[in-house]
């Protein structure tokens, strides 16, 4: 480690088994951690039920009535394939050990069989990573191999009206996720630079995946009217891919700047936190929980103002006092009420803001685990630390900064700063 330049080089004395695979002994904790969403399962008599969409031929295995309605109308056991109404799943008397094919009046049609697989630690969302502002936009050759599959995969049929892929010059790939790529593009008619998120439809076949993509698009649309949120420029699709054209923010993200500066002056942290508060309150007033506030998702524009990005973890449709229960987020930023399995609301965003402010001013996470013991470098141990370990505020911080951090990092959401129903954001 060169302390003058802040450069850290990690060397692993081995080679990966396959391209793209980690080296034996490679420590993944040194890399950025993406947000994850654990699929919601309901356990009854050994069954593992998951909410599903069904077609008109699906019947409930408990009451034998047709399962119908909007959205995900019923539950399906991921093991024995039993279908039931949501209202009936707690009444199922049969254990999951029995083979249900010969007993139940119906099975889900074969066309949905590919959706039966469940990956409990599920998706990572696709953020728009930083591009240092001194990078030029004319070096297309290096990334041509990455962009080529996007072009080759098109069938040339534009479904959406208005703009299409032919209206943009593809410059380079600037981000990758579990189900999407993010490209830097130029709109031909005015040479304006944008980011383009490309989603393969074949990777978005599960009901929950579809919901996440629809939610992300909807939040992008609403975010367009707020100066501290990355907004949507346009969207279109072909038969094989979805395209979201969004604002491109060229100042880098806070993670990039923190890696260079280690920690920020309190005045800078206060400025960024104030703009983040305005962005979060904008979402909350529209019934949206952000659920993925972290250094990676706070971008800086050319004038030094922040913009939040990546709405893949957002939850819509919540009013004052409403709650949800999905277990999701980036491990270091997950609020205690989520880890306890409790219903939660907008409080989780204010907890994440407290963690973010701590990182900005202290130069480290409030839950840093520095040990050679492999048992203490696990996700479960991190969650235990978040739930049980008291947070120690560094002594070099001012009294006001310490007071704000203690307010946001209160493990009781009812007492947390910004979480009172009446005074909330004004606090």
292 is annotated as an active-site residue: yes
Rounded distance between C-alpha atoms, residue 260 and residue 263, angstroms: 9
Task: Name the active-site residue from 292, 296, 310, 349.
Answer: 292
* φ, ψ at 183 (rounded to 5°): -110, 150
| Structure token digits, residue 323 | 């709650």
Residue of 158, 124, 120 whose CA lies nearest to 329? 124
Q: Is 97 annotated as a binding residue?
A: no
- Surface-to-core class of residue 119, CB atoms within 10 Å of its CB (0-12 exposed, 13-18 middle, 19+ buried): exposed
The H-assigned helical ranges of 230-363 are 254-261, 266-285, 336-339, 347-362
Angstrom distances, CA of residue 32 to CA of 35, 124, 290, 305, 308: 10, 12, 19, 23, 17
Rounded distance between C-alpha atoms, residue 121 and residue 325, angstroms: 16
Pairing verdict, β 232-237 and 168-176: unpaired
| Structure token digits, residue 415 | 């007492």
Annotated binding-site members for ATP: 201
Residues assigned a catalytic role: 292
């Amino acid at each position: 480690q060169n302390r003058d330049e802040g450069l850290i080089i990690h060397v692993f004395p081995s080679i990966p088994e396959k391209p793209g695979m980690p080296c034996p002994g490679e420590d993944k904790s040194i890399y950025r951690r993406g947000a994850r969403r654990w699929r919601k399962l309901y356990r009854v008599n050994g069954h593992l039920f998951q909410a599903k969409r069904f077609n008109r031929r699906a019947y409930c295995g408990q009451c034998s009535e047709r399962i119908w309605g909007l959205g995900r109308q019923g539950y399906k056991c991921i093991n024995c394939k039993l279908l039931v109404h949501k209202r009936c799943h707690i009444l199922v008397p049969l254990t999951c050990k029995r083979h249900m094919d010969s007993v139940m009046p119906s099975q889900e049609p074969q066309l949905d069989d590919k959706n039966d697989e469940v990956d409990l630690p599920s998706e990572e969302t696709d953020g728009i990573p930083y591009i240092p502002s001194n990078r030029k936009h004319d070096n297309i050759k290096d990334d041509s191999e990455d962009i080529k599959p996007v072009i080759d995969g098109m069938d040339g049929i534009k479904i959406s009206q208005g703009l299409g892929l032919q209206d943009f010059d593809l410059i380079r790939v600037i981000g990758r996720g579990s189900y999407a790529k993010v490209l830097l593009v130029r709109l031909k008619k005015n040479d304006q630079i944008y980011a383009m998120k490309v989603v393969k439809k074949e990777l978005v076949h599960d009901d929950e995946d579809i919901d996440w993509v629809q939610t992300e698009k909807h939040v992008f649309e609403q975010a367009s009217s707020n100066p501290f949120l990355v907004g949507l420029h346009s969207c279109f699709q072909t038969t094989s891919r979805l395209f979201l054209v969004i604002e491109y923010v060229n100042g880098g993200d806070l993670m990039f700047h923190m890696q260079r500066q280690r920690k920020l002056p309190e005045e800078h942290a206060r400025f960024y936190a104030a703009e983040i508060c305005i962005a979060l309150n904008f979402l909350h007033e529209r019934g949206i929980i952000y659920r993925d506030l972290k250094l990676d998702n706070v971008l800086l524009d050319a004038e030094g103002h922040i913009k939040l990005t990546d709405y893949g973890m957002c939850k819509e449709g919540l009013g004052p006092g409403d709650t949800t229960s999905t277990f999701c987020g980036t491990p270091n930023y997950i609020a205690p009420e989520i880890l306890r399995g409790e219903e939660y609301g907008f409080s989780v965003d204010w907890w994440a803001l407290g963690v973010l402010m701590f990182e900005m001013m202290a130069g480290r996470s409030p839950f840093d685990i520095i040990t050679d013991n492999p048992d203490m470098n696990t996700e479960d141990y991190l969650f235990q630390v978040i739930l049980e370990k008291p947070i120690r505020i560094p002594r070099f911080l001012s009294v006001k900064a310490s007071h704000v951090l203690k307010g946001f990092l209160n493990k009781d959401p009812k007492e947390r700063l910004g979480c009172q129903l009446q005074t909330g954001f004004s606090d």
